[in-house]
Chain A
């Protein structure tokens, strides 16, 4: 009787029930291992970067683990040129995010909602801007600026960054526009809203997560761009350019510190975007 309580008789329909469950328990869950492997592959370099910001290197090269120190965080801003490069990078990235965010949203809206002359051409140009090798784009931009007699520097860098980021924003926004119910805008109009009010109160709020995602993408693309920036930045130095310049003499651990801080800011922004999108729903 006590055995009955512990192991109830197998259901007549499923005689192999318990045995099958045991086999399933022993089977390796490849999906889970694969997921962890991909995550490790993605995050290991970042972990190393962050770890070496705490390293106490023996010589000029911060490549082997020696010991733990907070020295570099205390002296994070010891190199004035590095600070300036960092400031340039962040301000260029913010401007790029803003300008390509606005232009990309309008472009994405036009491509997702309307049919117009040259729509296919616009799609093609956008795709070309994404897929063209950066070296080619950089060289082409440089010769364009030279032929137009524009002195390369801070603003040419912003223009160049907007140029290659705007397509990413436009594609992100277009994807969202296509899934929007066109009846939403008609409903707003039906309830007395003019075109501008409809855009402000209905269309833009619905597109906002995509606009935000596209803007963050533009920020991320801009702040770590090296190839195009070398061509068009003139004598302005950005963060990636400065690091490249110091590789021959040894990268100071402050670079790891700034990289880690930058990564943390990115994580915070991304999490904020997700939280806001979830609350919106």
Chain B
């Protein structure tokens, strides 16, 4: 369904595409400013997004980055100060939430405590005056989908947190909205339950084929479930791409920091060497970089990012076709499946290296030993600030 979404260039689909392939949700230059005292705070500061139909799309960022406000503008609970919101190509800016064809799963679930589970799920259908017998079958089907058919007559408060979560999901999905908005829906669950609900959510999304827009501050959650992720910071989208693109090639320093663990190494561009750029890092060591932004020239000071699992650690000097940096082990942490090394590479910089414990439990190097770090040119990137 979301096969064409990996393309990083946001080119518009050609006119020959059928109308159903229009983006489910489009945000055009959306700004939301709140007045706080005498200041105006731009919670959302110019967001452009095109969320494809049937896609599992995540808005990821720290608290206060504007992801929830963005979602509330799609739902219709907030009106954008500037810009427009389109649902299936129709401009809905200024349309009240009860007249928008999207449904939301709230962080607190917001189940009606004075109604049974079945009445909660039927609420949306009753508002749209769906015939009674149809309501009954659709509610029963939906409760079966979330595996709560036997709990239809219970009150929400009699259910566990995970079950309430699934009722909230059923209550929204039963209306067959053009998109489902989920506001940190797993935040209140414990770790085990959260992991099983991630799988469950993904299964349900595949089965119903509805567009999911998922707001979370948990990068692990976003990486596991999403087709595409928009990483947000300070009201703007920092990077938009598939989980692999975001993880492997963070575009900005913020994204590199926020997603997973990342090593940031300062360096000076020395010039080209064959297919690669040579960058001097730490105390005179040489790193090779496959590509640099066009704006970067020889002599420029840049930041390189390398993921800890992309670095190799060893006592023998590596070849010259890879980045090679000498260092001293300052800490080793045995993690079971892998071992984490802290390595001082000089120049006041320290990096983290993950080494898989595939060949037994012997350490590559002890604390205080000298080692060589190496990584392939295509595994490090220059960051724009």
A binds B: yes
A residues at B contact (CB < 8 Å) = 181, 183-184, 186-194, 197, 201-202, 205-206, 280-281
Mark B110-135 against chain A: 1 for CB-CB distance below 8 A, else 0. Answer: 11111000000001100110000000
Residues of A within 8 A of B76 (CB): 190
User: Which 4 residue pairs spanning A and B have beta carbons closest together?
Assistant: A192-B127, A191-B124, A187-B110, A183-B110
Interchain CB contact (< 8 A) of B104 among A187, A193, A197, A205: A187
Residues of B within 8 A of A190 (CB): 75-77, 97-98, 102-104, 172
User: Smallest CB-CB separation from B171: which chain A residue?
Assistant: A191
CA distance A270 to B118 in the complex (A): 31
With A191-B171, A197-B127 as known contacts, state yes or no: A186 contacts B114, CB within 8 Å: no
B residues at A contact (CB < 8 Å) = 75-77, 96-99, 102-104, 106-108, 110-114, 123-124, 127-128, 155, 157, 171-172, 175
Assess the B127–A193 pair: CB atoms within 8 A.
Answer: yes
Assess the B112–A202 pair: CB atoms within 8 A.
Answer: yes
User: Smallest CB-CB separation from B122: which chain A residue?
Assistant: A191
Residues of B within 8 A of A184 (CB): 110, 112
Residues of A within 8 A of B111 (CB): 187
Residues of A within 8 A of B77 (CB): 186, 189-190
Assess the B175–A191 pair: CB atoms within 8 A.
Answer: yes
CA distance A281 to B171 in the complex (A): 20
Q: Closest approach, in angstroms, between the C-beta of A95 and any C-beta of chain B?
A: 28
- In the complex, 9 of the A-B residue pairs with CB atoms within 8 angstroms, ordered by the A residue number, are A183-B107, A187-B106, A187-B110, A187-B112, A188-B123, A189-B96, A191-B171, A192-B128, A202-B112
Interchain CB contact (< 8 A) of A206 among B113, B127, B128, B155: B113
CA distance A202 to B106 in the complex (A): 16
CA distance A184 to B77 in the complex (A): 13
Assess the A186–B97 pair: CB atoms within 8 A.
Answer: yes
Interchain CB contact (< 8 A) of B114 among A189, A193, A194, A280: A280
Interchain CB contact (< 8 A) of B127 among A181, A183, A191: A191
CA distance A114 to B97 in the complex (A): 19
Residues of B within 8 A of A280 (CB): 114
CA distance A82 to B238 in the complex (A): 80
Assess the A192–B112 pair: CB atoms within 8 A.
Answer: no
Q: Closest approach, in angstroms, between the C-beta of A118 and any C-beta of chain B?
A: 20
Assess the B110–A191 pair: CB atoms within 8 A.
Answer: no
Q: Closest approach, in angstroms, between the C-beta of B34 and any C-beta of chain A?
A: 14
Residues of B within 8 A of A202 (CB): 112
CA distance A281 to B76 in the complex (A): 31
CA distance A231 to B335 in the complex (A): 83
Q: Closest approach, in angstroms, between the C-beta of B211 and any C-beta of chain A?
A: 16
User: Smallest CB-CB separation from B127: which chain A residue?
Assistant: A192
User: Smallest CB-CB separation from B175: which chain A residue?
Assistant: A191
CA distance A19 to B97 in the complex (A): 67
Q: Closest approach, in angstroms, between the C-beta of A41 and any C-beta of chain B?
A: 37
With A184-B112, A205-B114 as known contacts, state yes or no: A193 contacts B107, CB within 8 Å: no
With A197-B127, A281-B157 as known contacts, state yes or no: A189 contacts B110, CB within 8 Å: no
User: Smallest CB-CB separation from A183: which chain B residue?
Assistant: B110
Residues of B within 8 A of A206 (CB): 113-114
CA distance A191 to B172 in the complex (A): 7
